[in-house]
Each structure stands twice: as C-alpha cells, then as structure tokens.
Amino acid sequence: MKQRYFKNVVTLQYNKDNCTGCGMCVEVCPRGVFAMNGKKAIINDRNACIECGACMKNCAFNAISVRPGVGCAYAIIMGRLKGTEPGCGCGDSSSACCG
Amino acid sequence: MFLNFSILVRYNFNKERIMVKSKICCTSQDRISQKTSPKWYCCTIETPGGMVPKISTNLTLSDYLGSAMARSSINRKHYHIRPGLYATGNPDKNSFVFVTANYKLTFDHLRKNMKGIDGWILVLDTEGINVWCAAGKGTFGTEELVKQVEQTGIKEIVSHRKLILPQLGAPGVAAHEVKKKTGFTVIYGPVRAADIPLFLTNELQSSGKMREVSFHVLDRLILTPIELAGTLKYCVLLFIFFIIYSWILAGNASFSQVLAKAFHSFLPFLGAVLTGTVIVPVILPFIPGKAFALKGWIGGIIWAAIYLFVIRNTFAWIVIVPYGLLLPALSAFLAMNFTGATSYTSLSGVLHEMKYALPFILVSAGAGISFFIVIAVIQNLV
Ligand code: SF4
Ligand code: SF4
C-alpha cells in the first residue's frame, strides 16, 4: 500500500516545454511521481512527492523545480530553535529523523 | 527525516544479526596484520591504477558488533570507512563500479550483497552518514563523486565508463554534470542493495518496485524504540519532579508511599508518551486523518478516556479537563515528530501540518498545565 501525505501541498513544478523526454526523472524518483507519456514526462502521482529534489537535480534541461527539504517536524523545530536550516539531524540527535 | 530510508538498512541489520559468520577471504600470505586493519579487509590487488584493497563480502561477528571500526571511528555513533576504491571478488577492467557512502552500515550492507559479484566499490566521503541523508546534505554529491573518480584512478582501472549509484543518492548527484566532468555515465541502481543481483541480471534496469521506498508495519515497529528513547530523558525528569512534589507534600509518609504516589501521578503521562511514540506510529495507517498530530491527538484522547474513566474511575470535571487538555496534546506532539521517520512526508506537508497543529498543541498543553497549577495551589492553600 502506497501511503500519501496531504494533497496539493508540495512545491513540485514541471515545465513541459523544456522536457526532452530523457526519462531521468522517472528513473530517480523514489515515489513514482513521474511517468513517461510518449516523448514527454508527466506528473502522474503528484501527492506522493516527498520533495527530495532528485528529479530537479537530475533533469539536465531545467524542466523541473521543487524546494527540497526534509519532512521531519523534529528537524524543523530544532532548526528554528537553533536558527539553522532544518537538516537530517544526522549526528546530533537520537531522533529517528537521523540515520 | 532521513534516517528515513536507512530504516531499510537498520531493519536488515537487525534481521541479519542472528546469522553470524566468520570468514576471511584470502590466503595467509597476503593477509594483512589483524591488529591494524579491520577483518573485512583481505588483501590488496594490483591494478593499472595502483594497489586496491580487496574486501570480504562476508560480515563477521565484529562487523555486527561494530567493534573493529568502533575503535577507529571518529565519533561514537558513526563508523567511518576510509573513502576510496575497494574490490570484491576478482574484478577486472570490465567489472561494474558501485558507488556508496562511507557509513559503516551502508558499506556493510553493500558488500554483503556483493557476494559472488566481481566488482569495484567506490566509497565517497559522506562523513559517516548514510546515502539518503548525505545526498540531502550534498555530501553524497556531484563534487565528491567527481573528486573520488579523479583521485582513485578508476579511469585507468576500468575500460568502460559507467558508475552504478544507489538511487537514493540521486538528490545529491546530477548525473549529467558527472558525465560532463568525468566522462562517466551515472546509472541509478536499486533503492535496496539486496536487489543488486537482480538489477545486474536485468541488464542494469530497475523495475518499478526496486525504485520505490516502502514503509511497512515492521519498519515502523523497529523505529519506535528510537522515538521512545528520545523522550526518555524528559520522562525521567518528570518522574523525578513527581517524586520531589509528592515528597514535599507527603508529611510523614514513608519513601515507598512517596514513590507510589509519584508513580500514580506519572502514569497518565507515561501512557500519553507511549501512545505518541509507539502505539500511534505502529497503527499509523489505520487511524483516520493525514496529519500525524491529529492521529496522535486521537490516540491521546482514547488514552485519556481509558485513564480517567477506567483506571481512575472518575467523572469529576476538575480532573477530566486538565488531563483532557494535556495528555492528547502531548501524544499529538510526539506523533508529529514521527513524520521524520516515515518515507512519505514532505517538507511542505510537515510545514502545513505544523502551522495548524503546533499552536493548537501549545495552547492546549499550556491551558492544561495552568489548570493543574491552579488546582494544586488551591488545594494546598485550603
Ligand atoms: S528529466 Fe527533465 S527532460 Fe528528462 S524526462 Fe524528466 S522532465 Fe523531461
Ligand atoms: S522531489 Fe523527489 S519525490 Fe518529488 S517528484 Fe522529485 S524525485 Fe520524486
């Protein structure tokens, strides 16, 4: 069962005009958000997006933009308190946010 | 979030802890001193690009205990592997190159799944952090990959120009830039190292399932002790507070009576903590709503009802109101912190949730605490 978070909140933007149909976004997305429709990519499952940024980073044609970040309340709160960017929390917390 | 995905690693790590093997791969003549090198290091092999250390694909007891690397690791939590090139089996110029992070568990996970595969492993310096986390930070990134490709002389060692990266490294690596800078084509392999053999037989194609991260009951269950451990410090402090509080009000009661009283005061909060950190995360998909805080709040309300009406058997509003305000708020807050441990939350989603949940939680908890204080003051004055 594929779980999804809120609807229509993610910052994912896709510009079809720039797309060359290379298929990279389909390959890198860990959530199956993109699919190929003939020679163009399409957003197939927008609400599954976790804003990891992999698609944007690997689209060589600037067809995708998204604000990448971590979906972790703990990291966001700690980031606000410490005045830093919310990061993984890796290395400084026992929270499950961290690997 | 992002142990998020290293839950996969941890999950397998726990599972396989049971099967412990101890074997070294090479003959004694080229085995290097046990004292100075970890057990998984076997020997070196000669290549056109220089000597490359060969590693075992068997995990030994010490790998599982982490003792070999623990001694040489920089800090207590992360086991670092020295970045660079390694070999498994007997690779040659046509063998695949697998790229990974220098977090010991990630590295172990990869080499274990390289059993029977002649390959090269290129370890990036991610400061001892797993691939997904490091990709988010950018340490598992284009720049570091290009640097390692140049430094290790992999261009002389292999004749092809392909690098296999874990797919979860994609947020940090721009494949087209790597190609431009090094000539190597980045191929994103499966999310789970266990799928590597299948990926190879599929001619370097990941099927849909291999590309997606999943998150099951077992994954959630394994994470809950971590969540719980995070709250332990506060639980202990709260308990100590109740002991002191009971002791001050105790008059001439014995210590065991004080302790019993403190535990009675502590119990509802302990229940709310367990609800928010263990019960709600485990049954997450079965609780209605999208917001984790809401799920936690529902769980907290149920716990508060059980505590008040069943355990305490009270219907006095003066008891119900403060507990009804505070306990669900506590569970809601803790459940909200579980967002980072799942694999389907986004930054925007969590911000969206926090915007509504956090003020509600703070007001509710604040009102509950104020209520308790007022009651305590009144009761002890009268
Ligand atoms: S990566 Fe970019 S260019 Fe390639 S298919 Fe996706 S959107 Fe189109
Ligand atoms: S940001 Fe990540 S999850 Fe969202 S579409 Fe891009 S690759 Fe997929």
Amino acid found at B229: A
| Per-residue pLDDT band at A60 (split at 50, 70, 90) | very high
Q: Which residues of B touch A75 (CB under 8 A)?
A: 1, 340
Identify the pLDDT of residue B208: 78
The stretch B71-99 carries a mean pLDDT of 78
Counting ligands in written order, the one closest to the CA of A23 is: 1
> Is the Cβ atom of A31 under 6 angstroms away from ligand 2?
yes
Q: How far does CA A79 lie from the centroid of its chain?
A: 19
User: Mean of the pLDDT values across residues A16-41?
Assistant: 95
Residue type, B116: G
Is there a single domain that holds both residue B107 and residue B245?
no
Q: Are the beta carbons of A98 and B208 separated by less than 8 Å? A: no
Tell me, yes or no, if B66 comes closer than 8 A to chain A by beta carbon: no
Residue type, position B129, single letter: I
A-B contacts (CB, under 8 Å): 192
The CATH code for residues A13-82 is 3.30.70.20
Percent of chain B with pLDDT over 70: 83
Contacting residues for B338 by C-beta, under 8 A, at least 6 apart: A96, B223, B227, B277, B280, B281, B284, B292, B296
Residues B267 and B348 grouped into a single domain: yes
Identity of the amino acid at A72: C
Question: Helices marked H in A1-99 — which ranges?
Answer: 24-28, 54-58, 73-82
Q: Do A71 and B78 touch (CB under 8 A)?
A: no
Q: Is the domain of B204 the same as that of B269?
A: no
3-state SS string for B252-317: CCCHHHHHHHHHHHHHHHHHHHHHHHHHHHHCHHHCCCCCHHHHHHHHHHHHHHHHHHHHCCCCCH
B225 and B208, same structural domain? no
Of the three residues B212, B247, B268, the one that is the final residue of a domain is: B212
Domain shared by B167 and B274, yes or no? no
Last residue of a domain, one of B155, B177, B212: B212
CATH code for the domain of B132: 3.40.50.11600
B207 and B225 part of one domain: no
Q: How confident is the model at residue A88 (pLDDT cuts 50, 70, 90)?
A: low
Confidence of residue A48 (pLDDT cuts 50, 70, 90): very high
Q: Which atom of ligand 1 is closest in space to residue A23's alpha carbon?
A: 5
As a whole number of angstroms, the distance between CA B53 and CA B38 comes to: 12
Cβ-based neighbour number of residue B138 at 10 Å: 15
Task: Decide whether any atom of ligand 1 lies within 6 Å of the A79 Cβ.
Answer: no
Q: B219 CB near a chain A CB, below 8 Å?
A: no
- Name B257's Cβ contacts closer than 8 Å, sequence gap at least 6: B250
Among B280, B269, B261, B334, smallest CA distance to B304 is for: B269
Burial classification of residue B316, based on how many CB atoms lie within 10 Å of its CB (0-12 exposed, 13-18 middle, 19 or more buried) = exposed
Per-residue model confidence (pLDDT) at position B129: 86
Q: Record the tokens describing residue B137, joined without a space.
A: 């930070």
**Secondary structure element (H or E) that encloses residue A64, with its range:** strand A64-65
Residues B241 and B280 in one domain: yes
Name chain B contacts of A71, Cβ cutoff 8 Å.
1, 339-340, 342, 344-347, 349-350
For B216-225, how does the pLDDT look when each residue is reduced to its tens digit (9 = 90+)?
666 677 777 7
CB within 8 Å: B344 and A48: yes
The reply to whether B171 and B227 lie within a common domain is: no
Report which of residues B58 and B368 the model is more confident about.
B368
Residues of B with Cβ-Cβ distance to A4 under 8 angstroms: 344
Q: Do the domain assignments include residue B199?
A: yes
Please state the rounded mean pLDDT for residues A3-18. 94
**Within a domain: residue B13?**
no
Among all bound ligands, the one having the nearest atom to the CA of A28 is 2
Tokens of B265: 């005061």
Q: Do the Cβ atoms of A30 and B191 come within 8 Å?
A: yes
pLDDT one-digit tens code per residue, A65-86: 999 998 989 888 888 888 766 6
Instruction: Tell me which of B189, B212, B235 is where a domain ends.
Output: B212
- pLDDT at B210 > cutoff 60: yes
Percent of chain A with pLDDT over 90: 67
* C-alpha B143: how far from chain center: 25
Residue B176, pLDDT > 90, answer yes
Q: Give the gap in angstroms from C-alpha A2 to the nearest C-alpha of chain B.
A: 7
CB B237 within 8 A of CB B220: no
Regarding whether B110 and B69 lie in a shared domain, the answer is: yes
> Which ligand is nearest the CA of A44, by number?
2
**What domain count does chain B have?**
2
**Whether residue B31 has pLDDT greater than 50:** no
Residue-wise pLDDT for B258-286, tens only, equals: 999 999 999 999 999 999 999 999 888 88
In a domain, B14, yes or no: no
For residue B8, tell me if it sits in a domain: no
For residue B62, the model assigns a pLDDT of 67
User: What is the number of the ligand 2 atom nearest to the C-alpha of A34?
Assistant: 5
Phi/psi for B228 (5° steps) reads -65, -45
Among protein residues, the one with the nearest Cα to ligand 2's atom 6 is A55
pLDDT value at B51 more than 90: no
* Facing B3 at nearest CB: one of A73, A86, A98: A98
Domain that holds residue B103: 41-212
Model pLDDT, residue A1: 65
Residue A99: pLDDT band (50, 70, 90) is very low
In the prediction, which pLDDT does B98 show?
A: 96
Residue B224 forms part of a structural domain: yes
Ligand 1 pocket test target in A13, A22, A33, A46 with most atoms within 8 Å of CB: A22
Using the predicted structure, report yes or no on whether residue B168 has a pLDDT greater than 60. yes
More confident residue, B175 or B286: B175
Is the pLDDT higher at B55 or at B326?
Answer: B326
Q: pLDDT higher for B307 or B39?
A: B307
Which whole-number Å values give the CA distances from B270 to B235, B238, B262, B300, B327, in the listed order?
7, 10, 12, 11, 10
- Per the domain annotation, does B4 fall within a domain? no
Confidence (pTM): 0.81
- Mark whether B332 and B373 lie in a shared domain: yes
Substitution target from A2, A34, A64, A98 for chain B, most B beta carbons within 10 A: A98
Nearest to B6 by CA among B281, B350, B231, B343: B343
* Residues B184-194, mean pLDDT to the nearest whole number: 92
Residue A87 banded pLDDT, cuts 50, 70, 90: low
pLDDT > 90 fraction of chain B, expressed in percent and rounded: 53
Grade residue B154 by pLDDT with cuts at 50, 70 and 90.
very high
How crowded is residue B259: how many other Cβ atoms within 10 Å of its Cβ?
Answer: 16
Q: Which of B14-18, B134-138, B170-174, B232-236 has the lowest mean pLDDT?
A: B14-18
Q: Are residues B223 and B184 in the same domain?
A: no
Q: Whose CA is nearest to atom 4 of ligand 1?
A: A22
Kindly state whether residue B34 falls inside one of the protein's structural domains. Answer: no
Residue with CA nearest ligand 2 atom 8: A29
Does pLDDT of A54 surpass 60?
A: yes
Do B273 and B175 lie in one domain? The reply is: no
Residues 6 or more apart whose CB falls under 8 angstroms from that of A52 comprise: A30, A68, B136, B170, B171
Task: Say what the pLDDT of residue A86 is.
Answer: 64
Predicted confidence at residue B174, as pLDDT, reads: 97
